[in-house]
Amino acid sequence: MEPLAIRTEGLTRTYRKPRKRRWWWSKSKPVGAEERDFVALDQVSLEVRPGELFGLLGPNGAGKTTLIKILTTLLAPSSGSARVDGLDVIADAELLRPRINMVSGGESSGYGILNVRENLWLFARIYGVPTAVAEERIDKMLGVVGLTDKATSRISYLSTGQRQKMNFCRGFITDPKILFLDEPTLGLDVTSARAIRTFVKDWMKERPDRTLLLTTHYMAEADELCDRLAIIDRGKVLACDTPANLKRQVQKYPIYELSLAPGHQGWGEVSKLPGVHQATTTTTPTTVELKVSLIEEPAIGAVVQALVTAGGRILTMKKVEPTLEDVFIELVGHGLTEDEGPKG
Ligand SMILES: Nc1ncnc2c1ncn2[C@@H]1O[C@H](COP(=O)(O)OP(=O)(O)OP(=O)(O)O)[C@@H](O)[C@H]1O
């Protein structure tokens, strides 16, 4: 049986806070080792199957990069275990590295005096990709991110976004079995971000044994791309499921929004109908907006019937779907865009 693409068990990583000034120099008391340890990852147990596009969603400082660094053999765990493609990230690191690749949206890697093509070629050769294959992949990837006209530019002359696109190309030219993308579209313009998302989806479809783990701050991106997601906060996994299942968890009742022409009061009876959990209205200068939550979805038929019978005119009607933002707020207690700053 094929091993899991990623498996972590009780994975924990602590960082040591800088030592406080000695107490006889200041009024602060000396701190013990346990107080100096900051837990960035706390007993994380995750399973990612081969072929999955798996997302990590969490606020700043949640521990996403720490997790990716451990999975890509760049950082040792403090305790617990992590296996990638069936290989232990510590004991089998040498065997594992050729099978994986990692790109971080915020990194500024590469040699400034080399041009874009030379940088990518050098990287491909380090991974043992034959020159002809590397050239072909580089051309393809530069086209994908719209960087073909910068192929011969020194990378020190690139803008931040262009450099990020070059790094994105770097992730794919080694054709890794398991790819880690840390914020691949961070700060990119809308068109470039869309091109990258489309490419990522196509790349995954091309070969079913590829696995991709992605972190992103963009809820819509996570929703569009990921087969499953883990929501992580303060080093702990709070939930792990498909975007659809996560959204279902927060929406206890189906909700419909109806826009009614003003001038009649039929909506007043809606909340008393069987199958209706709650009905609220907001009056605007031109409409009455009715929001109905239903205990059973078919009750929407009775709602429409009651409104029409009372002489109401329905202008628009739509079902309100919860978003991943709603899931996130429910689990974490605040939105992803609200920056709480370091929690250490
Ligand atoms: N080398 C380090 N030494 C001390 N603390 C660290 C170190 N690296 C990370 N941390 C702390 O560990 C926590 C998790 O950091 P990490 O970079 O994994 O978060 P993240 O989820 O990737 O955040 P972001 O979305 O902002 O990139 C943070 O509170 C951070 O300050």
> Tens digit of pLDDT per residue, the chain (344 long)?
678 999 999 999 999 876 665 555 555 555 555 567 889 999 999 999 999 999 999 888 899 999 999 999 999 999 999 999 999 999 999 999 999 999 986 666 777 788 999 999 998 998 889 999 999 999 999 999 999 999 999 988 888 889 999 999 999 999 999 999 999 888 888 999 999 999 999 999 999 999 999 998 888 899 999 999 999 999 999 999 999 999 888 777 888 999 999 876 667 788 889 999 888 888 888 998 998 889 988 999 999 999 998 888 899 999 988 888 888 888 887 666 544 333 33
- Residue 340 is predicted with a pLDDT of 39
Q: Coil, strand or helix: which one is 294?
A: strand
Atom 2 in ligand 1: residue holding the nearest Cα: 15
Residue with tokens 């022409």: 261
Torsion over CA: 29, 32, 36, 40 (sign): negative
H helices present in the chain, as ranges: 33-36, 64-71, 93-96, 116-126, 131-145, 160-172, 190-206, 219-225, 243-250, 299-309, 324-332
Q: Which atom of ligand 1 is nearest to the CA of 56?
A: 21
Residue with tokens 């992605």: 214
Atom 30 in ligand 1: residue holding the nearest Cα: 61
Q: Are 117 and 151 in contact (CB under 8 A)?
A: yes
How far is the centre of ligand 1, averaged over its atoms, from the C-alpha of 304 (Å)?
Answer: 52
- Residue 284 is predicted with a pLDDT of 87
pTM greater than 0.90 (yes/no): no
- Residue 278 is predicted with a pLDDT of 84
**Beta carbon of 40 within 6 Å of any ligand 1 atom:** yes
Element (H, E) at 56: strand 53-57
Pocket test for ligand 1, best of 12, 65, 75 (most atoms within 8 A of CB): 65
- Residue 343 is predicted with a pLDDT of 34
**Beta carbon of 101 within 6 Å of any ligand 1 atom:** no
